[in-house]
Amino acid sequence: MSEHLRRNEIRLHGHPVSYREAGSGPVLLLVHGITSSSGAWSDVVPALAETHTVIAPDLLGHGGSAKPRGDYSLGAYASGLRDLLAALGHERATVVGHSMGGGIAMQLAYQFPERVERLALVSSGGLGHEVGIALRAATLPGAELVLPLITRRWPREALLGGGHLLRHLGLRTRADVRGTAFGLTSLSDPEARNAFVHTARSIMDHSGQRVSALDRLYLAEGMPTLIIWGDRDPMIPLKHGLAAHESIPHSRLEIFPDSGHYPFNEDPERFVAVLRDFLATTEPSHYDEEDIRRRLRDGAMAA
């Protein structure tokens, strides 16, 4: 981790929010996935901070941020990120979202398009129905009672050892094992477990994802969008990224071979190179309310 990467805390609406910040220049907002934290980006932040101000928050319910009893919907997370940017004095940012963070990034662009310059969606949620069985299980009745048992020390050791549990979950890459083990570790805290269950149930049920951005992707035509996916993702299938690429005009798709759900940890050098090229070769989006009205009218007529 770079010595220039600062860990800070700010109070928003009475709750402490932890975030990491590094570099200077145009703002890159990195949004982690469920059960993760800002530390997930540690492999890529130093290089990205050479040319940008990188802000990586711990979402509420995660990491060092507060874990209140409250709203853990994508809309609430998006509003919280808008407020964080405003409180830190930033008007706009390129938003990079991983997994659930991708769904939050799209929600942020939908609710506050004037705040988002570009979107980078990494193994993103919110683009299809399928999702890994381990996440779906958290939505089942009684999950609150089972989670304390499966987040004890021995399942994490078994997972890192690559035993039966690893194969059952479909994890094939080192980064997927590391990310899943970190998630299990984070859920050893009762408040984090409660926040996880509330978050999971706000976006999924036992059959899969139930919050989708697919019917609104036509609004992203004017938003420079990069889609990054691992071709061995066991959590969210590559076909979601392919479909999103087809649905978002002028989007870019980068498939990382032999990578799972964490392509930025599988191949951080390539991830940084791809993201830097995207930033260098696209212009920030220009918010035009009349254009949004036109797209909404045209979309209504097409329906």
Give the DSSP letter string of 138-171. TTSTTHHHHHHHHTSHHHHHHHHTT-HHHHHHT-
E-strand spans in the chain?
6-12, 15-22, 27-31, 53-57, 93-98, 116-122, 204-205, 208-209, 225-230, 252-256
Residues 6+ apart with CB under 8 A from 242: 253
d(CA 105, CA 294): 23
So which residues are the catalytic ones?
99, 233, 261
Closest CA to 279 of 114, 51, 1, 35: 51
Instruction: Taking the CA atoms of 60, 66, 67 and 69 in sequence, report the sign of the dihedral they define.
Output: negative
From the DSSP assignment, how many helices (H) and strands (E) are in the chain? 13, 10
Torsion of CA 213, 84, 262, 234, to 10 degrees: -40
d(CA 222, CA 207): 33
d(CA 228, CA 287): 24
